[in-house]
Amino acid sequence: MPPIPLVELNNGTKIPIIGHAMTVEACDATKGWMLTAIQAGYRHIDTALLYGTEKAIGEAIRESGIPREEFFITTKLPFNRQDRVAESFDLSLRNLGMDYVDLYLMHWPMAIPYRGAWLDLPRDADGSVITIDSPTFNESYAEMEKIYASGRAKAIGVSNFSIKTLEELFQTATVVPAVNQIERHPYLAESDLIAYHKRKGIATEAYSPGGHGNTVREDLIIKEIAAKHGVSPTQVILAWQIAGGVIIIPKSDKEQRQKDNINLPTLDEEDVEKINGLDRGERLCNRIDKNGKFWGWTKERLGW
């Protein structure tokens, strides 16, 4: 299998265009499928303090015998630790057993009070997550900039930011985020946001790149293109992402799928156009709740 192509970020750091994502999972289970992913050729691994998988990733990398420098490791600042950035970052490094990460992302723009375990989130009488106004994401990002200056994160960026929240961030940021990691798939193409990223020098990274669940994978147009190329619907969706220059982080705990997800067909212009036509602005991973909120923020506040 040839190496996965690299994309240059706005500070010269290079990131493999396909990474392997993580779910919230027991470390022991993760380590096993992380090792098969490394054997398949993945060198870019996406995790987060919230997922609880940092330790397993560090162990799998050490067990693989491949030098740390050959990997691109991303981890993220949790929304309930926006007021303790330095401490959270140190904890992530300790979990990973590493002295630097390649990319440190702010996981979400909102700040939620810290209660220890991340699943123990404070909620109001309506069941919505309670958020706090201080620190602002501008203030937390300023703390991330200090980590970047120290060299312990080779690049910094954000996740789940919109044009609106990025504009707010730019009022104070001195380091342009290298990446914005967002939900993106054929039903949520995010063309305006991606055009904005290009103007600002921000790389787009897609999570839920296969469409989160089976809805997009079962779309008749996707299936038709998959049959034409003799590949799976997931491979077609991922190939469409790559055709758009988007970095992707598919996740599979199955060895064959891990291999398939880096062995993608080259789509014809006509295939790409057909898939572009499927966009319906639909969030499949992050659905707004019955109170009109997501993680305690309204659609308007999120800029969705």
Q: Give catalytic residues, as residue numbers.
A: 51
Choice between 152 and 257, CB closer to ligand NAP: 257
Choice between 52 and 210, CB closer to ligand NAP: 210
| Position 159 contacts ligand NAP (CB under 6 A) | yes
| Position 157 contacts ligand NAP (CB under 6 A) | no
Report the C-alpha gap between 173 and 279 in whole angstroms: 32
Q: Which of 211, 204, 216 is nearest to 250 (CA)?
A: 211
Q: Which helix (H) or strand (E) holds 142?
A: helix 137-150
Site residues for ligand NAP, window 187-216 (CB under 6 A)? 207-212
Kindly state the smallest distance separating residue 125's Cβ from ligand NAP, in Å.
26
| Position 250 contacts ligand NAP (CB under 6 A) | yes
What are the structure tokens assigned to 132, written together? 């706090």
Choice between 150 and 228, CB closer to ligand NAP: 228
Distances (CA, A) of 5 to 67, 240, 267: 19, 15, 17
| Position 136 contacts ligand NAP (CB under 6 A) | no
Q: Which of 222, 208, 205 is nearest to 265 (CA)?
A: 222
What are the structure tokens assigned to 32, written together? 């096993």
Choice between 24 and 130, CB closer to ligand NAP: 24
Provide the mask over 105-134, with x wherever binding to ligand NAP is found by CB under 6 A and - wherever it is not: --x---------------------------
| Position 42 contacts ligand NAP (CB under 6 A) | no
Kindly state the smallest distance separating residue 35's Cβ from ligand NAP, in Å.
15
Q: Which of 261, 225, 221 is nearest to 242 (CA)?
A: 261
| Position 162 contacts ligand NAP (CB under 6 A) | no
- Of 19-27, 58-66, 144-152, 195-203, the segment contacting ligand NAP by CB under 6 A is 19-27
**Looking at 9, 31, 43, 46, which residue binds ligand NAP (CB under 6 A)?**
46
The three-point CA angle 277-263-66 to 5° equals 130
What are the structure tokens assigned to 89, written together? 């970052």
Choice between 131 and 159, CB closer to ligand NAP: 159
| Position 50 contacts ligand NAP (CB under 6 A) | no
State the chain's maximal CA–CA distance in angstroms. Answer: 54
Report the C-alpha gap between 230 and 233 in whole angstroms: 10
Question: Is residue 107 a known part of a binding site?
Answer: yes
- Of 15-23, 137-145, 148-156, 222-230, the segment contacting ligand NAP by CB under 6 A is 15-23
Are 168 and 94 a contacting pair, CB within 8 Å?
no
Residue 147 in 3-state DSSP?
A: helix
Sheet architecture: strand order including 156-159: 44-46, 72-77, 103-106, 156-159, 179-183, 203-207, 247-248
Kindly state the smallest distance separating residue 118's Cβ from ligand NAP, in Å.
12
Enumerate the known binding-site residues: 107
Binding site for substrate, by residue number, is 107
Which residues here bind ligand NAP, judged by CB under 6 A? 21-23, 46, 107, 159-160, 181, 207-212, 232, 234, 249-254, 257, 260-261, 285
